[in-house]
Structure 1
Amino acid sequence: MKIIRDPIHGYIEIDDKILQIVSADIFQRLRYITQTGLAYLVYPGMRHTRFEHSLGVMHLAKELAKYVKINSEQYTDVSFIDDDYLNLISLAGLLHDIGHLPFSHTFENALSVAKEVYGIDVEYYGKKTHVIFGNRIIDYYLSSYLDKLSKNYDAVNFIQRVISSTPKTREENFASLIISSPLDADRGDYLLRDSYFAGVGYGNFDIERIKRSLIYVNDRLVVLKKALPVVEQFLLARMYMYETVYFHSVVGLYNAILSHAVVRLIQKGLIPNISPENYLKLNDVQILSKLEEAGKEFYNAILYRRGFKRFKRDVVGNCYEILDKKRKEINEIMKENNGLILYHDFYDVPYSDDEIFVYDDDEIKPLSSESIIVSSLKSIKKGVIGYHESAENKMKDILDILRECS
């Protein structure tokens, strides 16, 4: 067993069977894929990567599963959670982000921009893009390793269905909830980790209390009512991190700039095709090394924070809805100006009624019916407009649209 020192979880233990996956080139590649895109241009400490996040999710998934087994034994049969199963759920946590491209979600946004703004034929599947690519990577690079790691399960199919949230069995359903649900190992790690590296306290919550309060009943991962305050703390932490860090206007501006720069590189054939045989080449370093060829405006913006400006008023409320309806018109403005005028929007739903349930006196109830705080959480919608100083005199069309907001 190998032990890794982690700033969030302390010591992370890696079983020898899993160590060969961690040591594989395709997993080591995640050391060079930033977890939060260009957030480090605003929060300089946010240089952490998908590598340590994936280790954290592996650790937390196993921890949650172990505690849920202990917590649930008086309510239901969870005997399937044995050592072999815990290794599998650890692997699902480890590999849940293996399909991420350079700069993580920012590259996914670049693919969206390429397709919707510039009309380029690229593979883009919305928020599932990295999941679909991840399953290809598992098939191409890791299936021969994974086939040997479980006595009782088809490890490849189990992991792929779990990280895709398409479970077929009770065992896969449980693992899928642990890895990807509103109260899961993924969110549990990235909120704590991103908050730590951003140097803010918004993302902190009592993960140890959550571990001891989750149970598995009627094929649902539910929380004991006595732990309601810590679940509220978790959801508020998530909301605050989105509002203040992930959806920071300047973070959004620079991620939009990078998205258009990536599109330029795609247009010029300077990024390898997104195919399994090329994944080892696709990382942040490769993009940064080509950036000058995307254009000096993008190069200077991303390396030196120079040249682009943010329109000082954020697009919120009714104005957001108006610009959303004008999406085709705005896309045309961006295309005509080759990305030197930008619109980037944020959208997130902190919580919906059918996501987290509370167990109380043999009853399973929606969390929102038990918590005034949670029932008051609203979706976050915001847009950011940016422009390069050389294109300031071309802002008329987008300013005309903005005037409709008044």
Structure 2
Amino acid sequence: MLQTKILNRLQFITQNALAYFSYPSITTKRFIHSLGTMHLSSYIFKNALLNAHKETKNSFLKDLKKAVKSIIKEEKLNINLDDLAYFDNKALYQFTIPTKNKKDRVIYTILLQTIRLVGLLHDVGHLPFSHQVEYALKKIYNDIKLKDELTKKELKFLTIYEEITENSKEVLHEAIGKQLLIILFEYEIFDLIKENEEKDLIKLIKILSLKILQNKIYKGFDFSVLHKVIDSTVDADRLDYINRDMLASGYITGPNDHIRITKQAVLVEEKGKYHLSYFDMCLIDIEHMLEMQFNLYKKVIFNHGIAKTDAILENVVRYLSKKYFENEKETDKLSNSISMLWNFAEHKDIENRLDTISQLDENWLISLFKEEYFQIKRKEELSHEDKKYIYCFEEVLFGKRYFRSPWKNLNEFYKVLDFTTVQRYQFRESFGNITQQREKVLQEKLDNFVNKWENEDNTLFFTYQIVSFKLGIEKDFSFYDGGNLISIDEISTLRKRLKQSMLNTVPFYIYSNKKNMNEQMKEDLRKILFEVFNN
């Protein structure tokens, strides 16, 4: 698995886009994060069953066995669940648990391997610069949807985007990830396996992986409980990236012992349904972990400097896409075009498609940015847009600092816009988590603000970043006291505390190449705030 092109592409995909321009040590790649997620998922799965009541563990493995047997029968796989030696793996001895019989141990081992691989592959669908390029493509999609007439290229983009995301119902990188997982299991990894029996096991693991990722219910077994290992309030994904990113940013000077949390995982059966929970004795540890996650978003990810480079990166992708859509001609080579971000799967030949996917990393995109930057720079005459995007490219490529925000926190935001004390109280706890509809209105008004002032002064350039994030605590997240599941809100004020802190966040950053805003600009921004947030 570690030798595949699909997985190794993550060696060249950063976890936090261009955050290294603000925090030089934040250079984590998604490959190493994926390995960490795989490792932690092993502990969560093992301890969840190890800590479960004996009856719960046995019935869980029995129900899993029924589902696995049905898959083997339906797919006509040559897999003998009685052959314990075949499934024995010394590298996984530290994650073994006592089981009722040998078949249960085989089922446990198969699912352990499956969950490890789901953890390893959970990020394979990320595009270069991760979420920022994904957000840019989402905005491009929304812009195209509003158009009455589409070019041939825009129509193709719309079709591809809707096919991948099932009409925008799925998150883009997760939808791409499922497609790449199928290619990996059905084609790429098969080249590395010679024995037919091993190929059948890979087919089984592929089917189980997709059922987990898609939260399927099959033969009465709900696979969503296994998805919780890598996607929930407390999961292997978060436990890994919270530690890595907070350490790299310098907000903590030593890693937290998140293995301690995995040891408190427990599988609980309640009202005929299985739940992945954690013992109530680890409440303080989990509160601390969730506070770290909150601070990661509020202090690091939405730091004014990181938010700026994220916004500019998104603008550059949208700018290049706009140029591509306006040009009727196709480039001679897909890798010479921004369209490879969505046309990467156009090859019918699977080997050619795989080669294209392997190029879809930040080395390719940075090279493309440089080519476009040099083309603009060499023009004899530069338009207002050209001048703006020379600045944008130089920020993204070389860390230049042309754009600055007049505020870095909420207090400075109020001061710059000359808010009175009464107005500060009026807007207190109004920001942080902005509804989708309100964000749409805010984006439209900020776009109008940028267009208005850039049109009035051809030496003035603006960009902005809206600040909105979630607590990341599921409404039904519960602890287990040995007898019953207890909602986190019954025994902790964490959600309330974090929500109050979240609501006292700047609603957006405005970035400009000029230091000061005039009084009319301030008035325009105050008006936007009152129209969007003053209910």
TM-score > 0.5 by shorter chain: yes
- Give, in angstroms, the shift of residue 26 of structure 1: 1.5
Partner of 1:310: helix, strand, or coil? coil
- Give, in angstroms, the shift of residue 105 of structure 1: 0.6
Q: 1:383 to 1:405 in 2, by over 3 A?
A: closer
Paired residues of 1:32 and 1:284 also in contact (CA < 8 A): yes
Partner of 2:368: 290
Partner of 1:348: helix, strand, or coil? coil
Counterparts of 1:307-386 in structure 2 under 5 Å? 307-312=402-407, 317-318=429-430, 325-333=441-449, 340-352=461-473, 354-378=475-499, 379=502, 382-386=506-510
Partner of 2:317: 262
TM-score by length of 2: 0.65
Q: For residues 173-220 of structure 1, give each alpha carbon's deviation from its aligned partner in whole angstroms, at most 9, with x where no partner exists.
A: 232010111110110111111122222218954312211111111211
Partner residue of 1:93 out of 119, 129, 144: 119
2: CA distance, partners of 1:115 / 1:340: 24
Q: 1:89 to 1:323 in 2, by over 3 A?
A: closer
Partner of 1:376: helix, strand, or coil? helix
2: CA distance, partners of 1:132 / 1:353: 22
1: CA distance, partners of 2:31 / 2:255: 21
2: CA distance, partners of 1:158 / 1:396: 59
- Give, in angstroms, the shift of residue 134 of structure 1: 0.8
Partner of 1:238: 293
Counterparts of 1:28-67 in structure 2 under 5 Å? 28-67=8-47
Q: CA RMSD in A?
A: 3.3
Paired residues of 2:471 and 2:495 also in contact (CA < 8 A): no
Partner of 1:22: helix, strand, or coil? coil
Which structure 1 segments of 5+ residues have no match?
Answer: 1-20
- Give, in angstroms, the shift of residue 340 of structure 1: 4.3
1:112 aligns with 2:126: no
Q: 1:370 to 1:382 in 2, by over 3 A?
A: same
**If each structure's strand is expressed as a fraction of its own residues, which one has the higher value?**
1
> Kindly, what percent of the aligned residue pairs are identical?
23
Partner of 2:78: none
Partner of 1:344: helix, strand, or coil? strand
Partner of 1:182: helix, strand, or coil? coil
What is the identity, as a one-letter code, of the residue corresponding to 1:189?
Answer: D
Structure 1 range deviating more: 59-68 or 395-404: 395-404
Counterparts of 1:38-187 in structure 2 under 5 Å? 38-74=18-54, 76-77=56-57, 78-79=60-61, 80=64, 82-116=108-142, 121-122=157-158, 123=161, 125=168, 128-144=171-187, 145=189, 148=198, 151=201, 154-166=204-216, 168=218, 170=221, 172-187=223-238
Q: 1:369 to 1:47 in 2, by over 3 A?
A: same
Q: 1:63 to 1:84 in 2, by over 3 A?
A: same
Q: 1:181 to 1:306 in 2, by over 3 A?
A: same
Count residues in correspondence.
Answer: 386
Q: 1:389 to 1:374 in 2, by over 3 A?
A: closer
What is the identity, as a one-letter code, of the residue corresponding to 2:322?
Answer: Q
When Rg is computed on C-alpha atoms for both structures, the one with the higher figure is 2
1: CA distance, partners of 2:34 / 2:10: 9
What is the identity, as a one-letter code, of the residue corresponding to 1:373?
Answer: L
Paired residues of 2:267 and 2:276 also in contact (CA < 8 A): yes
2: CA distance, partners of 1:177 / 1:319: 30
Q: For residues 51-77 of structure 1, give each alpha carbon's deviation from its aligned partner in whole angstroms, at most 9, with x where no partner exists.
A: 101111111111211111111143612
Structure 1 range deviating more: 120-129 or 343-352: 120-129
TM-score by length of 1: 0.83
Partner of 1:6: none
- Give, in angstroms, the shift of residue 157 of structure 1: 3.0
Paired residues of 1:57 and 1:189 also in contact (CA < 8 A): yes
1: CA distance, partners of 2:55 / 2:495: 26
Q: For residues 72-102 of structure 1, give each alpha carbon's deviation from its aligned partner in whole angstroms, at most 9, with x where no partner exists.
A: 1436124356111111111100111100000
